Structure formats: C-alpha cells, structure tokens
Amino acid sequence: MLVESENQTVMPSAAIEHDKILLSRLQLFRNVKLQTPEMEHLLSLCQYRVLKEGEELLSKNKENEFLYVLMNGRLVITLSDHEDSLLTIVEPGECVGEMSIIERRAPSASVSASEKATVLQVSQDILWRMVSASHEISRNLLYIMSERLRYSNLVIADSFEMQRKFQRFAYTDSLTGLHNRGWLDDMFAREVSRTERDNLPLCLIMIDVDHFKKFNDEYGHLAGDLVLKTVGENIRKPLRPNDLVARFGGEEFSVLLPETKLEHAEIIAERLREKVSNAKHGTIDGQKIPSVTISLGVTEYKPNYTLETMIASADVAMYKAKQNGRNCVQLANDA
C-alpha cells in the first residue's frame, strides 16, 4: 500500500520486513546481521520512497537529511539541468546522499530518477544509530565514501582534459542539435579506455537515412533538413543517458553504446529503426512530409580496434542492410 506524504509517494516501513534478504545484498548492509532486535527496530523506522521518472531526489539548493539506497530503477547525478552535465548513473544497490549528510552541507550535485525508481530512505539520525550498532555498516559506509571520492577525482581529472579539448572543437551539429564527429572521436577514446580498463563491452551503430538524396530532390532541402532533425530526435530519445549519439555527417548518424553486448545492441538498433519509421515529420507550406526509414549496421569492440575500424565494420553492415531491402538492422560479420 502506497502513502502520500509531503507530495512524496512512500511505502509503510512494514514493507521492509519482507526484504531482509534483498537488503543484505546491498552495499550498505553487506555482512550486517539484520535479524538483531536493534537493527530490526532501526529498519522499521525507515521507509521506501517511490520516485516518478524525472523526479528530483537531491538538489544542490536544498540541504539533505537522508541517505538513499536505490532498490530498483535508475538515478542520474548531474551538475546542472543541462543534459551534458551528467556525471554518472546510479544502479540498484548503490547509495546517494552520504557525503552531504557527513559534511552537513547541501549536495554538490543534483540527483533525479531517469525512470520510475524505489529508494530506501534512511534519515541522518537512524544512519548514525546503525553505525553505532554495527561495525560492518561503518566499514561499508567508509567503502562507499572512498569509492565516491575516487570517482570524483577521476571526474576532476577528466574535466581538465575535456576543457582543453573543448577549446579546439565545436562539438555540436547546428542542424540537429546532436554532437558531431569531432565529439565522437574524443568520446570514443574515453570509452575505449574505460572498456579496456574495466573489461566491459562496447558497441557502435552506424545509421543512414534510406533514399535521402531522392527525398531531397523531390521535396526540397528544407524538407530534408526537417527530416534530419526529426530522425536525430527519434534516435536520441529512446537511448539511455550514458549512450552517445552524434550526427556523423550528411544523412548518417552514429550511436556508441557503452557497457552493451552485441545482442543487446541489436535490440536497441531495432528499437531505433522502429521509432524512426513511425515518426511524423510535419508539413512545409501545407505539404505533408512523408515518413522515412533508416538502415543500421551494428558492430562490437574488439581489442586494438580504433574508431575507424569500428566505423568501417559498422558501415559494411549498414550497406549490407541496404542491399537486403533497407529499413532493417544488420550485424557486422566480424562482430
């Protein structure tokens, strides 16, 4: 049963009693004896909070009094409201809010739900009582904080490097508002470094608008520009916050998928194909602009691949999709 409290949807604390096994697997409660009377009492004082997509959990302009443990869904940490300020994504089992509680200051970044999510809400007072009751919680909290500090240091180092490179490149495509090839070159290098360091998968999708030259000749360049904008929007919207999309040039687009295996990249590519084919492009001078389709080629990163290698591999697959009738997804043979 859900309860509305101060414009927030919360679940009664009794619901936590049924989740002891799940809680024991989370970072904060790892190796903690949750069945002791004291811990059971402290957990009964906590609540689950259900977040709607886009709902803000932590704000840079408001002091925080809670530690939040993500139970399901996804949170994003951002520096500002601008979409390019994304710092990281919070996955189930991870915590947010611990630094602002300890520092007794407003959070240094904003946290919001990128999809419907449920968090365990632990008040500052209850957290310290838990720390006093369990050395394991103290150890887990220190580990969580050290990881947060380590990541912050990496972000700072990356930020200095990015500032230097932003002085040399204009990274936004003026027509679609997407990033451009120069941005893709830079982000690819960063993602490959992370992929190799953490042994993670990485995939690239190359996309081409079908019969675009014929479309331009028949309906004019204004209609063509409108179609490219709409295609760009419909490619970007279904993607996850950490996926990277760019206008590669002309009627071609690129999507870089971190932490994604080939079979999942194929599913994402098919979702993009369907989204674009069903898109409405509006009208120009009273003339309805017809829908368009796209052909997509998908490839997976392998050791020693460069961006050019992956583009070439995905391009071959994309042109094979065109040979197979267009409006379809094709996997690279070498993937």
Which residues form the catalytic set? 251
Tokens found for residue 51: 């977040």
CB 295 within 8 A of CB 318: yes
45: nearest Cα among 70, 24, 25, 66: 66
Tokens found for residue 265: 């990249």
User: CA 310 to CA 204: how far, in whole Å?
Assistant: 7
User: CA 314 to CA 333: how far, in whole Å?
Assistant: 9
Which class for 93: exposed (0-12), middle (13-18), buried (19 or more C-beta within 10 A)? middle
Which class for 145: exposed (0-12), middle (13-18), buried (19 or more C-beta within 10 A)? middle
User: CA 318 to CA 302: how far, in whole Å?
Assistant: 19
User: CA 111 to CA 78: how far, in whole Å?
Assistant: 6
User: CA 272 to CA 137: how far, in whole Å?
Assistant: 44
Residues 6+ apart with CB under 8 A from 327: 210, 273, 277, 293, 294, 295
Tokens found for residue 172: 């936004």
Tokens found for residue 236: 């970007």
User: CA 230 to CA 209: how far, in whole Å?
Assistant: 11
User: CA 272 to CA 267: how far, in whole Å?
Assistant: 9
The pair phi, psi for residue 45, each rounded to 5°, is -90, -5
